[in-house]
């Protein structure tokens, strides 16, 4: 029953919203921008958390705790976090009133046109999602052969362990379980294993990507720039419907969210709540796909490198670094527990051929395929790198001095992840041409939203977006005194 699936999604969104509030992300009289930013994060954050609690129920608590009792526990968790949020909120100062959008008439017209365009594109995205769901209710190949298959095993009280058997090694039973656990949770909410749970969760992440990209850039770069990011990210989401209900778009969102929060934490100092939340979402990357390990390693490495470039007064404090580390731990520990107790060996890692490092033909084949891919693939079938390069060429680039280490860290981690993924192709035991044809485009999709975030953050806002960004960043932020991002 779809209404019960939606009830489950709303409960997880409540958990995510309450957690962000408990961390200090929603002070009294928080403005529209803060609410839209948190709104883009709440449902995915709650989905990540409830996927872990549902997994623990599936594998450990189901024999002694009936499903209705587990649901009561989820609601109790949301209620406890809400109570903590409201208590903390009462002691927080109110943020200053948000500035009203100003600027030239051209800026306002461009912004209005962008809002209308993005709205129309989102409607078209939902329509395309409906058509894709009607065409393949259980998703495309990997969805029903891996992610939804594992969800059905988890939802089965009698046969759930068989989902991790080496007898079905072709279904990659070692893959992390954020998506399967979330879908299985939806099955339990609805009482059946129909199409609705997986399809609704897929739509949730598709819509969250442009919403987060736009809200992360709106205040600092202006609404026209935010609309540019939203349009490009809607295009990425639209293109991903060819691989409906896969885990790639959830992972793309999580990587985007970590990058956006780390960038915003430097862009608007004083928002310490972003550090543990970024850590939690970094842990969720590992709980989503094996590529998440590469992303987490790239985040840590790039932050350590960027720290050397930062002036002492702009480096993350010990409290912020500890907050990030504590945020990573919960889902990292759940992933470790799964890998150590249930997951069989990874077939890709078990069959790596180090001798292939010395084969120049493999380097050439990988380079040719990836060059063709980035030159022909992207939002709305447009080549992404030429589109982004053209946008930068037309708009010009501007990066205030104190932001350069954070922007460089984002660029570095994108490069590190891309290089590591290329290395996986170099060492793969699978036929190289087949592996490139079937995986490279999806891996690119995981990085595109974060690449769009980087380019739009670096580019000069269209028509300067009615704001003097250089001056804004050279002077103290009005919201900095009370530690809020308005």
For residue range 412-456, what is the model confidence (pLDDT) as tens digits?
999 999 999 998 888 888 888 999 988 999 999 999 999 999 999
For residue range 125-180, what is the model confidence (pLDDT) as tens digits?
999 999 999 988 888 889 989 999 999 999 998 889 999 998 898 899 999 999 99
As separate numbers, helices (DSSP H) first and strands (DSSP E) second, the chain gives: 19, 0
Q: Supply the angle between the helices 404-427 and 248-267 in degrees, to the nearest 10.
A: 160
Output 349 or 132, whichever has higher pLDDT. 132
Lowest mean pLDDT segment, chosen from 43-47, 94-98, 353-357, 477-481? 477-481
**385 contacts 372 by C-beta, under 8 angstroms:** no
Helix or strand or coil: residue 131? helix
Distance of CA 300 to the CA centre of its chain: 17
What's the pLDDT score for residue 27?
A: 85
CA angle 51, 52, 53 (to 5 degrees): 95
What's the pLDDT score for residue 106?
A: 60
Q: Quick one: DSSP state of residue 28? A: T
What mean pLDDT is predicted for residues 41-53? 97
Q: Tokens 């780390």: give the residue.
A: 262
Cross-strand pairs, 362:
none
Q: Please, which pLDDT band fits residue 208 given cuts at 50, 70 and 90?
A: very high
What's the pLDDT score for residue 216?
A: 93
Region of 378 (left: φ > 0; alpha: ψ -120 to 50; beta: rest) is: left
The pLDDT of residue 66 is above 90: yes
Average pLDDT value over all residues in the chain: 86
For residue range 11-36, what is the model confidence (pLDDT) as tens digits?
999 999 999 999 999 887 778 888 99
For residue range 278-323, what is the model confidence (pLDDT) as tens digits?
999 999 999 999 999 999 999 999 988 887 777 776 677 888 999 9
Alpha-carbon distance of 112 to 424, in angstroms, equals 44
For residue range 368-380, what is the model confidence (pLDDT) as tens digits?
988 888 877 766 6
For residue range 236-266, what is the model confidence (pLDDT) as tens digits?
998 888 788 999 999 999 999 999 999 999 8
Alpha-carbon distance of 80 to 88, in angstroms, equals 12
**Rg (Cα) of the chain, in Å, rounded?**
22
């Amino acid at each position: 029953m779809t209404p019960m699936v939606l009830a489950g999604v709303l409960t997880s969104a409540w958990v995510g919203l309450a957690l962000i509030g408990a961390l200090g992300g929603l002070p009294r009289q928080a403005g529209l921008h803060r609410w839209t930013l948190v709104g883009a994060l709440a449902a995915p954050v709650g989905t990540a958390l409830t996927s872990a609690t549902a997994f623990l129920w599936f594998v450990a608590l189901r024999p002694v705790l009936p499903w209705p009792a587990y649901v009561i526990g989820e609601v109790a968790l949301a209620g406890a976090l809400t109570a903590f949020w409201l208590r903390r909120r009462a002691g927080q100062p109110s943020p200053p009133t948000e500035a009203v959008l100003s600027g030239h008439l051209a800026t306002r017209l461009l912004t209005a046109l962008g809002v209308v365009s993005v709205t129309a594109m989102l409607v078209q995205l939902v329509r395309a999602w409906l058509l894709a769901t009607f065409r393949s209710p259980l998703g495309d190949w990997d969805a029903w052969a891996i992610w939804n298959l594992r969800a059905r095993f988890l939802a089965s009280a009698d046969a759930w362990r068989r989902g991790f058997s080496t007898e079905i090694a072709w279904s990659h039973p070692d893959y992390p379980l954020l998506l399967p656990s979330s879908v299985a949770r939806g099955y339990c909410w609805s009482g059946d294993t129909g199409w609705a749970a997986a399809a609704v969760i897929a739509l949730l992440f598709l819509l969250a990507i442009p919403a987060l990209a736009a809200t992360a850039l709106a205040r600092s770069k202006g609404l026209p720039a935010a609309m540019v990011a939203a349009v490009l990210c809607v295009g990425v989401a639209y293109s991903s419907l060819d691989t409906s209900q896969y885990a790639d778009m959830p992972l793309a969102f999580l990587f985007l969210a970590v990058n956006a929060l780390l960038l915003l934490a430097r862009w608007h100092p004083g928002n310490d709540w972003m550090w543990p939340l970024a850590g939690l979402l970094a842990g969720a990357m590992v709980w989503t796909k094996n590529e998440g390990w590469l992303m987490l390693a790239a985040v840590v490495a790039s932050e350590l490198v960027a720290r050397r470039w930062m002036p002492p007064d702009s480096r993350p404090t010990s409290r912020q670094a500890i907050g990030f580390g504590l945020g990573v731990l919960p889902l990292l520990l759940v992933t470790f527990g799964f890998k150590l107790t249930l997951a069989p060996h990874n077939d890709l890692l078990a069959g790596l051929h180090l001798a292939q490092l010395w084969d120049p033909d493999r380097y050439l084949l990988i380079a040719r395929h990836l060059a063709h891919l980035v030159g022909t693939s992207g939002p709305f079938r447009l080549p992404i790198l030429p589109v982004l390069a053209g946008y930068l060429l037309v708009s010009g680039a501007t990066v205030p001095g104190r932001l350069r280490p954070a922007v460089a860290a984002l660029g570095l981690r994108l490069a590190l992840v891309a290089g590591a993924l290329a290395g996986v192709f170099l060492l793969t035991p699978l036929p190289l041409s087949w592996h490139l044809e079937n995986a490279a485009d999806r891996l690119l999709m995981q990085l595109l939203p974060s690449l769009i975030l980087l380019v739009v953050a670096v580019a000069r806002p269209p028509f300067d977006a009615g704001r003097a960004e250089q001056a804004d960043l050279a002077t103290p932020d009005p919201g900095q005194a009370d530690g809020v991002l308005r």
